[in-house]
Chain A
Amino acid sequence: MSAASRKSLQAVREAVQKGDRAPLWAAIFENIVRGFTIAVVLMLVFILGTIVWEGVPQISWDFLTKAPTDGMREGGIFPAIFGTIFVVLFMILLALPLGIFGAVYMVEYVRNGPMARVIRAAVNNLAGVPSIVFGLFGLGFFILFIGRNLDYYAFGTPRDNAEAQLIEEQLEPLRAQYREEAIAQAKIDELKGKERGDFIRGYVAERMPAQNRKVFGQGAMFWAAATLAILVLPVIIVSTEEALRAVPASMREAAYGLGASKWQVISTVVLPQARSGIMTGAILAVARGAGELAPILFVGVTFFMPSLPLTEPVNFGPLVIQVVNPFQEFMHLNYHIYTMATQHPDPVGTRSIQFGTTLVLIVITFMMNIGAIVLRRRYARS
């Protein structure tokens, strides 16, 4: 290289270094952006800080393991933690198989055909529906439609007024017969006035077949889980689709090349390799489902329950077995916070309970998100 060109290169270098300094407007812009960023971070810090500051003193072993007492002024929030965990557990048990099947169907069977486009459009629209609408849908579809029909076919419970009237008419002769029986009882002569009426009513009620048995046609943890499952279905389908598509074509070719059937390729090669991607989606879905209140508002969540939603105890020798009964109402952290803050007669006195509950909720969802991030990292590496 000649000396002359070296000199000119030096000039270029100096010019470039000088040009390094940013113009004024760029500095202003940068500071505005920085200001907004700091504002956002500060807001987050303020919110989390307040919750932690106010919530931590409330946390105790009793708070985490006891039921509320004294009109929700004392005691703990265990039934709400219990309900929150189990409702999302049932939710994921319902949503995961459905979401995986949907994604497998789209990616492996219909690919980019018209069917895949229809499903994809449906999934995208589902993701955009306000969550309160899911709540209304859950009430209308699961409880009033499916639940009532189940009760009707299982126990003959009337589904509407007309049916109730019809059943009433059919039962009337039976009722009359029992009333006469009651009157014919020797004992009746000794009773007077109200006592007499009570006896007859009691006698008849004891013997009449159940007419209004409701097991399915009312708010229940299962319906809440089903409603949440629909809400999180897009999360699972989209992440499963992504995970399935990320399985290299060479893996499918290898398996097909050895004579594997389509189903064998999916079950022994594609799904195992997509596993951590699917798990990530599942955890995100759980975190999302645990944070929602609107979808479960009308389908089974309740302010207070005297006991946990469990089945009747069954004795297996020395063992007493009691499992969760998903067809009962349940308490939930989100609803607990909401009612304590807005419905409780003493919202100020129970402030620390509200903060404690919020802290517990945040810690639970935060842990789930951390889990998803860890899984995703591991997934990205392999």
Chain B
Amino acid sequence: MVLRLMDKQSAKIEPMGEELAPFLEVDSLSVWYGEKQAVQDVSLSAPKNTVTALIGPSGCGKSTLIKTINRINELVPGVRIEGDVRIGGESILGEKVDLRSLRQRIGMVFQRPNPFPKSIFENVAYGLKIHGVKDKQTLDDVVEWALKHAALWDEVHDRLKSSALDLSGGQQQRLCIARALAVQPDILLMDEPCSALDPIATSRIEELIGHLKEEYTILIVTHNMQQASRVSDYTALMWLGELVEYNRTDELFMNPKEKTTEDYITGRNG
């Protein structure tokens, strides 16, 4: 619903959800790896059912930023985080936050497709199983639902038992999306999900993202500016760990406010 509303009036919406309540908020976030600061005082917020693209040159802290949101970069020894991340108004960085349920609410798709060396079915069912779902019928139903949502069902429904590693790269990436969707998240984080894929597989994923935002709030890292302009509602440009500019995507590309942004999107930099 929200989405349809937005599509119609998207030209009139003011940037940064002044009309739409922020759902995912990053508030003065800084992240260090040991002594090295990878993210500096970044703030941005995204309303529900939108796609936000993070662009910027390699090493500017895009992955670090999104891995902080599902707290998976806490696996790196010596990582230090300041600031806050809120989802629906609730901070998720506290000590008491249950990481298992947090990560269930925030699905992540990685740069290289990383299916487990198990069957297609087992890959999608994995998240459910670790969250204690045992009922065969439920598993079957959710696997089918997730594969359909990830636009993969038609290609694999007759070989769910075969190895996920036999799929093509694009299919593997959609399988990873299905795997993330199966645990019923609210937010999808995608870290350059198409960078290892060919143009056709890429366009299928982009199309899929267009459908997925009806139900999910999506944050996508990409170094491909056409992709950012095609799929996203909002775009954030990061530069050396800092957020340079954050705006509605069309605004940012048509009317960059910062010199750095202009140089970057016209290819004079980075």
Contact = CB atoms under 8 A, between A and B. Distances in A.
Contacts of B114: 248, 250-251, 253-254
A256 B117 contact: no
A273 interface: yes
Place the interface of chain B in its size category. Answer: 20 to 34
Contacts of A257: 70, 72, 103, 107-108, 110, 180
Nearest to A252: B75
B104 A255 contact: no
Interface in A259-273: 259-261, 264, 268-269, 273
B4 to A, nearest CB: 30
Nearest to A249: B75
B116 A254 contact: yes
B267 interface: no
Given A111-B77, A251-B114, A259 B180 contact: no
A382 B164 CA distance: 13
A256 B130 contact: no
Contact of A258 (B77, B112, B115, B183): B183
Contacts of A248: 114
B126 A256 contact: no
A255 B126 contact: yes
Interface in B110-169: 110, 112, 114-117, 126-127, 129-131
Contacts of B116: 251, 254-255, 269
A4 B125 CA distance: 70
A259 B72 contact: no
B77 A259 contact: no
A261 B100 contact: yes
B35 to A, nearest CB: 18
A256 B126 CA distance: 11
Contacts of A250: 110, 112, 114
Point out which of A250, A254, A258 has the most chain B C-beta atoms below 10 A from its C-beta: A258
Interface string A259-297: 111001000110001000000000000000000000000
Contact of B126 (A252, A253, A268, A382): A268
A332 B104 CA distance: 56
B55 to A, nearest CB: 22
Contacts of B129: 268
B126 A259 contact: no
The A interface, classified by DSSP as helix, strand, loop or mixed, is helix
A382 B116 CA distance: 12
A257 B110 CA distance: 10
Contacts of B107: 257-258
Contacts of A111: 77
A258 B101 contact: no
Contacts of A268: 126, 129-130
Point out which of A254, A255, A264 has the most chain B C-beta atoms below 10 A from its C-beta: A254
Contact of A259 (B103, B110, B117, B176): B103
Contacts of A261: 100, 130
Given A259-B130, A382-B117, A254 B104 contact: no
Point out which of A253, A257, A269 has the most chain B C-beta atoms below 10 A from its C-beta: A257
Interface in A274-322: none
A254 B77 contact: no
Interface string A314-343: 000000000000000000000000000000
Given A253-B72, A268-B130, A273-B117, A258 B179 contact: yes
B117 A258 contact: no
A269 B123 CA distance: 11
B2 interface: no
Nearest to A250: B114
A42 B97 CA distance: 68
30 contacts: A248-B114, A250-B112, A251-B114, A251-B116, A252-B75, A253-B108, A253-B110, A253-B114, A254-B114, A255-B126, A256-B75, A257-B70, A257-B103, A257-B107, A257-B108, A257-B110, A257-B180, A258-B103, A258-B104, A258-B130, A258-B179, A259-B100, A259-B101, A259-B104, A259-B127, A259-B130, A259-B131, A260-B130, A264-B130, A269-B116
Interface of B: 70, 72, 75, 77, 99-104, 107-108, 110, 112, 114-117, 126-127, 129-131, 176, 179-180, 183
Given A256-B75, A259-B104, A261-B100, 20 more contacts: A250-B110, A250-B114, A251-B114, A251-B116, A253-B110, A254-B114, A254-B115, A255-B116, A255-B130, A257-B70, A257-B107, A257-B110, A258-B103, A258-B126, A259-B101, A259-B102, A259-B103, A260-B100, A268-B126, A382-B117
